[in-house]
Amino acid sequence: MRIFRMWAVAAVAAVAAVALGRPAAAFDCKKAQVAGFTYDLGPLARDIALASNATTPPTVTETTYTLNLCGPLAAAPDSTPAIDRCPAGAWVCRTVTNFKKDEKPRVVEVGALAGTGSHDGPTLEAQASGSDAPKQLHWKMVGPTIEGVEWSTDITLVCDKGAKNEGQPKVTGLKAGVLELEWSAPAACALSGDSDGGGGGGGDGGEDGDNRDKGSSGGILSTVTTIAFFSFALYLVVGVMYKFLVVRARGLDVIPNLAFWREFPYLCTDFAQHVWSMVGNRRHAGYSVV
Ligand SMILES: *[C@@H]1O[C@H](CO)[C@@H](O)[C@H](O)[C@H]1NC(C)=O
């Protein structure tokens, strides 16, 4: 039994280490956390296409960037030949099409600039200024490396209450494989207040400070819950395996520490009754006898 306990402790420690060491949870566009503030980028979640033409005699070259802040792009229609489509799992894609007089347009380049399935989701970066919410965020995501160039995308999200979420981003540059865009929208403003669900934004420093505290304690709580859950699951699995394989227990006996778990509901009710009577005593007498 002592060996089993040691194993259980080691296993729980390992699970806790994995849970703490793993990268931040999957990117949640509607509750993105940056610098202690929460952002709802949901209103910007859609596939966007930005096309522009350049005169390249004797042809015209059209460059189209398609992007979605919150998930992989939808697959191209069946009418698009498979070879001309963005790679599956791309969040940002670049397509270069060449037009020459009456000839059929020819796709000469197509590639992901963010995501392709084998990569992590996007990261958000911001610099908080004191207790004020950041006015700009950077949405960054890497794509594939092709011929030594690591493609990636860096979108500057600018908090702008006067703009519309239905608007479009602007391409500001493509340098050394990094596509840069700028997008002004109200959704790029931090949520403020606890109950109104945000949108108001701005506010004074104290209000935003409250929001910040909420955000971080929520994160810790969910991490603790996750660790507790996984630890308990691991305890059950390892315990049942031990009882089944080593002790050769069968039936209900495979449950580790069965006696304790049998008692557990009674212990709980006992405890609750105890607390209840203590509270009751205090209410009635004003003092409780210890
Ligand atoms: C670019 O030029 C081609 C050919 O003239 C045209 O079909 C296409 O719509 C143009 N694209 C844009 C974004 O103007």
Cα 101 from Cα 42, distance rounded (Å): 42
Pseudo-torsion of CA 44, 192, 156, 159, nearest 10°?
90
132 phi and psi angles, rounded to 5 deg: -80, 150
pTM for the model stands at 0.61
Q: Please check whether the domain covering 41-190 is classified as CATH 1.25.10.10.
A: no
Give me ligand 1 centre to Cα 60, in Å: 8
Pocket of ligand 1 contains residue 53 by CB under 6 Å: yes
CB 73 within 8 A of CB 120: no
Question: For residue 234, what are the contacts with CB-CB under 8 A and spacing of at least 6?
Answer: 11, 12, 15
Q: Which of 154-158, 174-178, 255-259 has the lowest mean pLDDT?
A: 255-259
pLDDT tens digits for 22-56? 444 578 999 999 988 999 999 999 999 999 999 99
Binding site membership of 50 for ligand 1 (Cβ less than 6 Å)? no
Q: Is 171 in the pocket of ligand 1 (CB under 6 A)?
A: no
Regarding the beta carbon of 60 and ligand 1, being less than 6 Å apart is answered: yes
One-letter amino acid for residue 147 of the chain: E
Please state, in angstroms and rounded to a whole number, the distance separating the CA atoms of residues 131 and 36. Answer: 10
What's the 44 CA to ligand 1 centre distance in angstroms? 26
Instruction: Find out whether the beta carbon of 99 lies less than 6 Å from any atom of ligand 1.
Output: yes
